[in-house]
Structure 1
Amino acid sequence: MLHTPTNSRVLSRELLDVLIRAGLIAVLASFCFRIFAPFLNLMVWAIILAITLYPLQVRLRGPLGGKDGLIATLIILVAFTVILVPTYLLGVAVAASIERAMEVFKSGSFQIPPPAESVAAWPLVGQRVYDFWAQASTDLTGLLQKFAPQLKELGLALLSAVTGLSAGLLVFFLALIVAGILMAHGDKGYHSTVQIASRISGPDNGRQIADLCTATIRAVAQGVVGIAFIQMLLIGVAFVVMGIPAAGLLALAVLLIGIMQLPATLITIPVIVFVIVTKGVSTATIIFSVYVFVAGLADNVLKPLLLGRGVAVPMPVVLIGALGGMVTGGVIGLFIGPVMLAVGYQLFWRWVKDQPQAERVQQRTPS
């Protein structure tokens, strides 16, 4: 078939129209993303919270007469209370402890007991620990002046961490409010999600992908909270038995740190140091230190056991997605990573198995 100049002009005009439309759509998408970008983290958290809490809303429909707006409001109010009360108590306790420590330090009554002779016999680091401890017990002011630059950097890092934590809590509370609005319209949201997934991956895969994303987010969320709660119990019992001051608040701090995917050793190591300094080195303090340190690392064992339960993909896929997502994207990546990896895993194996019938027969026939 010969292309006449008229046909060529028509094809060129159609191609130009397609390029102009594609360019306009790209510009529109870019502007929309730039406008929505400041609220991206907030909306991602809201969607994660809404998906995680929505089964509770479904269970309460019967007792509360199916009033989705009222149910969502009650759930969010309870969630606010559960998070705000421990956070407030922990903040008050930490502020009081810092103020009390400053008063003791200014009064000059703070003294570190000298180390036992057995400390010097510790393998590898015993002599260094003994010398450092002995200097701290006799000349604490001089030791602090010696490490003043490092202490200043540490203080600035702690201040930055506290500021970031406060901003994170504010975003989290706003996300809870938005999650309540999403839960009040949960059925419509689910149908819209299925429509979007079907439009992207085809009508045969849309509902399965939407259900897979939902199940993965819930499994990761429940695994994170469950692991943090187990760690709180393991460490909190040891704190109570050893008689650590404010043991309950420290246990709540372990729970909050675990939910934020920070290591529990941020709490356990200072407590171990406090116990050794105040009570000395003995069989009881050594057993306590080893137990608490191991309990602080228990999440590394519990994650492979709890993450991925109820998801239609192998557990290592969810675990690798959670760990890789957390490394690359922080706490939000902990949820996005396994969702993306699980969806990719499912689509990949669906593509592998979706072969023409003739090829399947040929593969089954021995040569």
Structure 2
Amino acid sequence: MNMAPNPDHEQEKRISALLLDVFIRAGMLLAMIILCYRIFSPFLSLMLWALILAVTTYPIHQQIARRIGGKQGLAATLLVFFSIVVIVIPTTLLVSSLGDSIHGLINDLKNNTLEVPAPPAGVGEWPIVGEQLYEFWSEAHSDLPAVLQSMQPKIGELAKKALGIVAGLGGTMLLFFFSFIIAGIIMAFGTSGGKAMQRIFQRIAGVERGKEFTKLATGTIRAVAAGVIGIACIQALLIGLVLILAGIPWAGVLSLCVLVLGIAQLPALLVTLPAIGYIWFIGDYSTVGGISFTVLLIVAGTVDNVLKPLMLGRGVDAPMPVILLGALGGMASSGILGMFIGATLLALGYQIFIRWVDTNPDVEAEPIDSSAS
């Protein structure tokens, strides 16, 4: 006597086979993603910087292309060449000068050949720290080796960190050089690349929101590049030029400090005010020269207050504080590259949250209580 097959048992077998097939495919897909990431991870920073540079400079690239008959490749080549000449080469020279200064300082410290000038008499009259600073400065002027001997452990650690920073800056400049070249290639195929990015956002967030998120992401990257890093670079170059013209020592180091302060959204007056004090207390400048360099340093130190409202947040459908907080939070967690990622993610998250708040069905259905007024 043949028993009829149990339908439930057959369905359970089919479901088990289907789940096993899904798990195997998902496992193979996950393994492929992990392998692809490991292969691509050494170039991740390079490609992210190239993408950021391409998105930031793409409007300029399109303006150049329109003027030369729509030749996208030639426009990208001209823009990359101009960027290398104007940005990469001067920055490389500045980094090289910074490295030479640090190496020279370390050698002078090791060989006890570093000389400290005598402190001006007015330093002792400064409030709170004047007497202590004057005594320490005088001791360093008269017997610098003894002062260095008492600070030897800290100086050794600082020297190692300084050399590491210089070496890291050299690698960063190579990264920027190749990033500009790859950015040129991306811009040459910018139309197809923009459509591909929009299709990715449409696949993730839907057709309508995909277009909005694509526009928001590109606008945020450009706002951070122009409004944070761009302003910091402009201010650092202006202050560095004034410091060089004024003949202030370590102008390259001071301009680098201004750049770091600008990216961290700290006032450049932390550098320019001591420089102004140096100009007036050293006594080597005429009255006209001292006043001129003082005015120039004050103007250059406050130029970010004029540029920031104009450049930060332009063309972005998100408040400027949201972009600024995202940039600062991203920089605190992942460095300069994190500024762009943090600002973009926070701007997208803000838009998603606002869209969710605006589409509250209870608000539309709630009747208006006229007695409340």
| Offset of residue 360 of structure 1 | 4.5
Deviates more, 1:123-132 or 1:228-237: 228-237
Name the CA distance, whole Å, in 1 between partners of 2:302 and 2:139. Answer: 31
Note if 1:16 corresponds to 2:20: yes
User: 1:316-352 CA deviation, whole Å, 9 max, x = no partner?
Assistant: 1111101111111100011111100111111122223
- Taking the aligned partners of 1:66 and 1:290, their CA distance within structure 2 comes to 45
What are the within-5 Å matches in structure 2 for residues 264-303 of structure 1? 271=275, 275=279, 278-279=282-283, 303=308
Aligned equivalent of 1:175: 179
Residues 30 and 360 (structure 1 numbering): CA distance in 2 closer, same or farther, change over 3 Å?
same
Q: TM-score, normalised by structure 2?
A: 0.81
Q: Are 1:218 and 2:222 matched, yes or no? A: yes
> SS state of the match for residue 62, structure 1?
helix
Partner of 1:165: 169
Q: Which residue of 2 aligns with 1:342?
A: 347
Unpaired segments ≥5 residues, structure 2? 1-5
**Alignment equivalent of 2:30, drawn from 26, 29, 32:** 26
**Unaligned ranges ≥5, structure 1:** none
Determine if contact 2:235/2:259 at 8 Å carries over to the other structure.
no
RMSD: 4.0
SS at match of 1:320: helix
Is 2:325 the counterpart of 1:327? no
The answer for the alignment partner of 1:74 in structure 2 is 78
Q: Which amino acid aligns with 1:317?
A: V
Output the CA distance in 2 between the equivalents of 1:114 and 1:105.
Answer: 23
Evaluate the alpha carbon distance shift between residue 337 and residue 109 of structure 1 in structure 2; reply closer, same or farther with a 3 A threshold.
Answer: closer
Distance 1:11 1:365, change over 3 A: farther
The offset of 1:234, in angstroms, is 5.8
Map of 1:41 onto structure 2: 45
Q: Confirm or deny: 8 A CA contact 1:318 1:341 kept in the other structure.
A: yes
1:106–1:27 distance in 2 versus 1, CA, 3 Å: closer
Alignment check: 8 A CA contact 1:115 1:133 kept: no
Summarize the alignment of residues 68-107 of structure 1 with structure 2, pairs less than 5 Å apart. 68-91=72-95, 93-94=97-98
The TM-score, its normalising length taken from structure 1, stands at 0.82
Amino acid at match of 1:136: A
Separation in 1, partners of 2:324, 2:25:
42
Does the Cα contact within 8 Å between 1:86 and 1:252 map onto a contact in 2?
Answer: no
Q: Shift in Å at residue 21 of structure 1?
A: 1.5
Q: Hey, what does 1:64 align to over in structure 2? A: 68
| Deviation of 1:261 (Å) | 6.0
Residue 112 (structure 1) shift: 1.8
- Report the Cα offset of residue 237 of structure 1: 7.0
Farther-moved stretch of structure 1 (296-305 vs 171-180) = 296-305
Write the distance in 2 (CA, Å) between the matches of 1:270 and 1:157.
24
Partner of 1:354: 359
Post-superposition offset of 1:15: 1.6
Counterparts of 2:15 and 2:52, CA distance in 1: 47
AA of the residue aligned to 1:10? R
Q: Give, in whole Å, the separation in 2 of the partners of 1:8 and 1:330.
A: 52
Q: Percent identity among equivalent residues?
A: 43
